[in-house]
Structure 1
């Protein structure tokens, strides 16, 4: 099937959050392989592996197995949730209206948008530092205010170009840029492997099985769980007939292959550089381990990896903003998003003295409601086979997704309860002595080992499964298809 003008490489995607009609669907499950490979090719995966050795006491072989289970397993979940995208043809948080109600969905959508803006600010700032380091190595020009702003603008401009053009261009860039930056990563990886102290690596004792269980959860929470509410955004142009199992496999292998290589390498490097796991600037920490001639390909690869991840996040953030009810075109939503992250980067680099730690702490707390949303949405997806496209775009009382007062109370109750319980097991702070928030159960085995997210996920899914029979969310979906009207490109078709 030929791509529609709305989804061709190099053209601006004018579609917003409205469902993609069947006539404009095209592609195959393999596209998800390149999407998630690109999102995870960054060398920033190395500190995760280092943490398995430095903080959890695992040896290399255990860390490799943990990387396999955590990364493949978490991105299998991403692939499973992306099935909603090909069923409903809409972004994940728009489809979430069918689960939470057109008003109830505001909470999960707002949390997701704030989280995306936060991580994009981290990406943008880290990329600016990377570019500053590259300019210093190549041209000998030291960091200054003007150069810092120019580096931020460069990364922002590249992100805006790719994310602004939209879905088709992102898919094309993901595939071909992966080859380029993949080769650079392999060059750097080859050099780093040659510097490893193999005697220490092979002589390291094995850690306990409990540490491996915790390690799997740590890798899952740090990789796939963060992308689970974006999978449908990239699967929505796929034909309904694409087998869901292929989406799961493509996502798991696409992210799993680079992650297992990078996480395993990180565990190797930790034998010679234990401080890597605790570094607040892993790009600089790894760069310090390299000779100057190797810094150039490394810094280019690090910059490219950040860019590939960031343009996906910005694209999804634009769709999430529109779902909130901000009635702008998708391209303008992307523009607003990058302006906010640019201002955040300026504050982060030039003004704040201690911003990174508190900011990461805030984003860690936001991960709890996001994980609760994943549990509810996943449980709903198991029982659901279709979405009403017209109702997704109708936020008035006449919408079939109005439920009671605009809220599906089974979903909202489950989401809220899971958040409360998840926070009980959560501790967040900038250091062991500067704790911002500490739940009363954070010192239990579950809390201390960072497994509160798993409890949150399971409780949200279980509670929703039990409660949904008492809510209007069990109403059967119509059997006919309800694509959004295509007489003109539109961003939203909603009534207040």
Structure 2
């Protein structure tokens, strides 16, 4: 049996064994032991349609309805917002599907496969950004779940202001335990959990739509006037970033158990279908609700869960709370599991369950700090995460071009060897990432200028398109520029290098 070692992760320890093709499949253990190593062939038993479950469960949250308010906030009409939502959601999850192809070809986590484009050591640059982005957004989901608990229990009259601290403590413990527990158990447990949550949350979401249908006033909803082209593009960038692009740095983590013979088209299709179906319906319904009631639209912007809960009869509030928490937990589990894998890809020498636990502890601490000590930290926190979205978009463009240029599976050994065909550093990819990030930051605006004035350095190129007060200022074109330019530059500048790598 031939063994492959990764000196950067487990020096002196085997992390992957090549098992003979006729070896019997191994039943998955309760706790997944695989880390960033190549998944052995006998364990690649997943089917493309299995990808539907994690993506659907993580995106069926009623929180998606809040995007109806966000889109109308750009000053566009309901039909424009509907078209924007469909295009943005489908395209963004299709991009996730393209990244997922790499997981099938290489049977390794996203950030390990990114080494083919950036080099074994160079990958650590986007890896750090990815880790910060993942753990940041999942902490934000956890905070939302904890605060939603207090909001709904207040509405029910079960707790008064004096009980807020106790409720927040209990909610933090329960939510964090669910997220960390599932993440530590790993891939197989998460896949089963997501399939159960899909049916549970999907059923209650349908019930929510039925119970709130009477709140829609069709004439008023469709009376919103059309917005300008700049406003429409701004809304498109926002919805694209808020949905698929928010998951793109972990997309291959969930396809690495697929057989190498699986169809690329099916991988992309099931990612896209799983991620898109629920959000399209939820955003459209959210548009109808927000378009029908200006007060509701404003309330959603400040407190999405609480505003939507106010539409329900009292008997439905507690089930709504449970399902809302579970859907937020579902998304956070995917992120924390993947952030643990990213942590390992950076060279941290601990087992995968321990990496997930470490990230879970960081998530819990972050939640405690915001909920109990620094609630005004939310604005600066989100401003910081949005800033990371520009280099993440650039990284996505680079990796997608790299994936589409390749015609062969990855060299397993070279992904862990700086002396292999992928090298230690890829100067072209690193320079491209830095360049498109600098350009992209020049065309985005800090949406939390008052709460995070230290981040107002962005937007230094907006004078080219009308300045900070122009109609293009809040279109956040920098994200789009980083994604497209990252792809185009890589497609042409690295074509020869990719060809030589595959011929080595």
What TM-score do the two structures reach when normalised by structure 1? 0.89
After superposition, what is the alpha-carbon deviation per residue over 1:286-339, rounded to whole angstroms, capped at 9, x for unaligned?
223334223222222211110111111111111000001101111000100110
Alpha-carbon distance, 1:24 to partner: 1.8
Question: What SS class does the counterpart of residue 13 from structure 1 fall into?
Answer: coil
The match for 1:267 is 287
The equivalent residue for 1:21 is 40
Aligned position for 1:476: 501
Q: Secondary structure at the match of 2:222?
A: helix
Indicate whether 1:400 and 2:428 are aligned. no
For the 8 Å contact 2:94–2:268, the answer to whether it is kept is yes
| CA distance, structure 1, for counterparts of residue 178 and residue 451 of structure 2 | 39
Question: What are the ranges of 5 or more consecutive residues in structure 1 without an aligned counterpart?
Answer: 480-496
Give 1:149's match in structure 2, choosing from 142, 156, 169.
169
User: How big is the shift at 1:208?
Assistant: 4.2
Q: Is 1:456–2:482 an aligned residue pair?
A: yes
Question: Do the aligned residues in 1 keep the contact of 2:26 with 2:42 (CA within 8 Å)?
Answer: no
SS in 2 for 1:326: coil
Gap change, CA 1:334 and 1:187, over 3 Å in 2: same
User: Are the counterparts in 2 of residues 33 and 254 from structure 1 also a CA contact under 8 Å?
Assistant: yes
Instruction: Return 314-323 or 186-195, whichever deviates more.
Output: 186-195
Q: Which region of structure 1 is more displaced relative to structure 2, 196-205 or 27-36?
A: 196-205
In the TM superposition, residue 275 of structure 1 has moved relative to its aligned partner by: 5.4
Residue aligning to 1:356: 378
Give the Å deviation of 1:282.
Answer: 1.2
Q: Does 1:387 align with 2:410?
A: yes
* Alpha-carbon separation, structure 2, partners of 1:91 and 1:110: 15
Q: CA RMSD in A?
A: 2.3
- 8 A contact 2:35–2:344 mirrored in 1: yes
Partner residue of 1:367 out of 367, 371, 389: 389
1:180-230, Cα deviation, whole Å (9 max, x unpaired)? 111111111222221112221233334445543433322111100111111
In the TM superposition, residue 274 of structure 1 has moved relative to its aligned partner by 4.8
Unaligned runs of 5+ in 2: 1-21, 466-470
1:326 aligned onto 2:321:
no
Paired residues of 1:276 and 1:282 also in contact (CA < 8 A): no
Question: What's the counterpart of residue 276 of structure 1?
Answer: 297
Structure 1 residues 13-22 or 289-298, which shifts more?
Answer: 289-298
Whole-angstrom distance in 1 between the partners of 2:287 and 2:247:
23
Contact residue 76 and residue 232 of structure 2 kept, 8 A: no
1:2·1:26 contact (CA, 8 Å) conserved in 2? Answer: no
CA contact (8 A) 2:109 2:256 kept: yes
1:37 pairs with 2:56: yes
Measured at CA, do residues 294 and 55 of structure 1 come closer, stay the same or move farther in structure 2, by a change above 3 Å? Answer: farther
CA distance in 2, matches of 1:256, 1:413: 33
Q: How does 1:20-419 map to 2 (within 5 A)?
A: 20-59=39-78, 61-136=79-154, 140-142=158-160, 143-271=163-291, 272-274=293-295, 276=297, 279-384=301-406, 385-395=408-418, 398-402=419-423, 406-419=424-437
CA positional deviation for 1:432: 6.7
What residue is the counterpart of 1:486 in the other structure?
Answer: none
Superposed displacement of residue 467, structure 1: 2.3
Aligned partners of 1:81, 1:334: CA distance in 2, in Å? 22
What is the TM-score when the length of structure 2 is the normalising length?
A: 0.88
Give the distance between the partners of 1:441 and 1:365, measured in 2 at CA. 15
